[in-house]
Every structure is written in structure tokens, then in C-alpha cells.
Amino acid sequence: MSKPRALVTRGIFDEALEMIRETIDVDLWEDEMPPSRDVLLEKVKGVDGLLCLLTDKVDSELMDTAGPQLKVVSQIAVGFDNIDIPEATRRNIPVGNTPDVLTQTTADAAWALLLAAARRIGESERAVRSGNWRTWHPLHYLGQDVYNATLGIIGMGRIGIEVAKRSSGFNMQVLYSDIYRREDLEKEYGFKYVDLETIYKESDFISVHTVLSEETHHLISTKEFGIMKNNAVIVNAARGPIIDSKALYKALSEQTIAAAGLDVTDPEPIPVDDPLLTLENCVIVPHIASASVKTRREMSMISAENLIRGIKGERLLTPVNPEVYD
Ligand code: GLV
């Protein structure tokens, strides 16, 4: 009997691929760059499972092209805004993601960006490398203090919570906004539930951890930057389009806020001639927040396990649309 077939749209850890290959014929897209839309549509035809990335758009066209035998979409990421979930659910296709294993690694990365932006690490490192470190000067490279400052978290989900918890070593006051109030966290850690406007008005550091949706697209734009403090530092390790990048450029270049640390941009990759890249007070890294060896290995294994389970018709480890099992 022939094995079921799966398309894996990028290289993942070998042990994960080996595990999949025990029971499934794998078509592995080995290029560094994503398959073009046409190639993706061609390759997905007739597969039983798809292991994909946030750079692959999984919509009704793709599911139609794959065919009715498609049993699972397994995403190697926690976010899944590239996948049309209602459409997958309508077709009874479970979609898996890789939550939890990347929470701590991503929270670390948000802090790396926060500290780098606050203390002008990118700018001053560039100065060292380009021979512009000429002397110690009392007025050079002055940044923002993190200790004793106020941290505003937008989106108190798994990652937001861990970012907030890390602030205790810096003696920070934590404000948070979310659709859900977390009185347990307020009691245990002293976090304060506020509205978004209060986050913008009172925070010295703002860290974005909400999902990207129609409601959060350009959530932070000209008006919001206008309310922020002049010393504010904004960090985004969630999704680029949550921040209006033109408004961010204006706020940073006019220094109505102090700095930004971005793991994500809009679009990705950010074009090399994007005005944000001309700014010394904007630290930008290439969407690497979950990129530790351990975490990416675990993400590979979970996405492989979800793919295998889905193809076998078993419940996924981490389904994002569990209603398909009702
Ligand atoms: C990465 O951005 C992810 O959603 O895991």
C-alpha cells in the first residue's frame, strides 16, 4: 500500500523529517526562499497533509487545489494569520500550530529588543564598527533607564505574561490591556489592568503581544504615537502590521517617542530602502524571536507530530480549530 503524501514547505530539523518519513512520503521544499504561489499550488495537489510556514498563504484556493483528501494543515509557528481558519474548519481540516514551546524564547527576544532600543545598542555598535567611537563622552549615546520604569503590555497572552514577569528584576510597574482581565496575575504579580489609552499615556516601554486581526491591523498609528511619552520605547515581537510603519517612522524621526525595537515588520522582509532603516533609534531584527536551537527543534517536532496525527485521523497535539472534533 502506498504511503500518504505530505508537502513540507521548508527545511525543518532532520529528526522531525525522519519521524514524518517513517509513515509518510515527503515532498520537501529545500530552497531557502519560499515556493512561489504557483509552485505551492502545483505541489499541494493531491497531498494528504501540509506542513507550512507563516510565509505560505493557506486559503480556500489552496485547499481547493490540494483536493478533498487534504486532512491536516500543520503550521510551524504559534501565529496563523496566513491561514484561513474558518475555511479550514468549514472543510473539517484541523490546523495545528506550535504554542508554548516558543513562549520563553520569544519573551527573551522581546526583552533583548527592549534593552537594545532603550540603551541604543544597535546605534552604538554600528559606531564602534565604523570607527566612530572616538572617546568616552558624558553626553554620548544617552538612552532610557529600564529600572523603575513602567512597562505596558498590549495582549496578555502566553508571551505577554512572560515578558511582564521578567520585569520584576527591573522593579517595573506593569500595566496591561487585553480583552480578558487576569485578576490572578494582578494578585500574584501586581500587574494593573488598564485601557489602551492608559498604556499609551503612562508607559515608558510598550511591548506588543496581540494577534494580528482586522481589529488589530494598524492598532498603533498616528493618534496612538501622539499620546505616548517622548521617552517611550515600543517593542513589537508579534506581527508587523499591528503598527502603522509610516506613523512609526514619523514618531521616531521627529523623536516624539524615543526608540523602537522590532522583530517584525510590514512587509517582511523589510525592503532595504525602507525609511525605518535610516533611523538610528530603530532596532530591527529579521523575525527571529523564536529562533533558539532548542525551541526551533521543539517547533519542528510538534509540527511533525501534528502532521502525522492529522494524516492518521488522530486529534492534533495543538489544534487551533478544535471545533472540527465536535
Ligand atoms: C512566529 O512569528 C510565530 O508565530 O511563531
User: Are 81 and 69 part of one and the same domain?
Assistant: yes
Q: Rg of the Cα trace of the chain? A: 22
**Strand-by-strand arrangement of the 49-52 sheet:** 25-28, 5-8, 49-52, 72-75, 95-96
Distance from residue 77's CA to the centre of ligand 1 (Å)? 4
Catalytic residue among 119, 120, 182, 287: 287
Q: Cis omega before residue 271 (within 30°)?
A: no
User: Are 138 and 202 part of one and the same domain?
Assistant: yes
Q: What is the residue with the minimal CA distance to atom 1 of ligand 1?
A: 77
The pairing of beta strand 49-52 with beta strand 5-8: parallel
CB 206 within 8 A of CB 188: no
Catalytic residue among 15, 61, 197, 268: 268
Does residue 280 carry a catalytic annotation? no
User: Are 249 and 316 part of one and the same domain?
Assistant: no
Residue identified by cell 524621526 is 253
Could you list the pLDDT tens digit for every one of the 326 residues in the chain? 799 999 999 999 999 999 999 999 999 999 999 999 999 999 999 999 999 999 999 999 999 999 999 999 999 999 999 999 999 999 999 999 999 999 999 999 999 999 999 999 999 999 999 999 999 999 999 999 999 999 999 999 999 999 999 999 999 999 999 999 999 999 999 999 999 999 999 999 999 999 999 999 999 999 999 999 999 999 999 999 999 999 999 999 999 999 999 999 999 999 999 999 999 999 999 999 999 999 999 999 999 999 999 999 999 999 999 999 99
For residue 269, give the CATH number of its domain: 3.40.50.720
User: Are 310 and 253 part of one and the same domain?
Assistant: no
Three-state SS letters, 41-104 = HHHHCCCCEEEECCCCCECHHHHHHHCCCCCEEEECCCCCCCECHHHHHHCCCCEECCCCCCHH
Rounded CA separation 243/212 (Å)? 10
User: Are 81 and 113 part of one and the same domain?
Assistant: no
User: Are 183 and 259 part of one and the same domain?
Assistant: yes
User: Are 116 and 237 part of one and the same domain?
Assistant: yes
User: Are 186 and 46 part of one and the same domain?
Assistant: no
pLDDT in tens, 152-191: 999 999 999 999 999 999 999 999 999 999 999 999 999 9
Residue identified by cell 471545533 is 323
User: Are 117 and 247 part of one and the same domain?
Assistant: yes
Question: Quick one: pLDDT at residue 50?
Answer: 99
Element (H, E) at 259: strand 259-262
User: Are 107 and 153 part of one and the same domain?
Assistant: yes
Does residue 296 carry a catalytic annotation? no
Distance from residue 71's CA to the centre of ligand 1 (Å)? 23
Q: Is the CB of 290 under 6 A from ligand 1?
A: yes
User: Are 57 and 14 part of one and the same domain?
Assistant: yes
Q: Is the CB of 299 under 6 A from ligand 1?
A: no
Residue identified by cell 503598527 is 243
Structural domain including 265 reads: 103-284
User: Are 135 and 185 part of one and the same domain?
Assistant: yes
8: left (phi over 0), alpha (psi -120 to 50) or beta: beta
CB 112 within 8 A of CB 207: no
Number of separate domains in the chain: 2
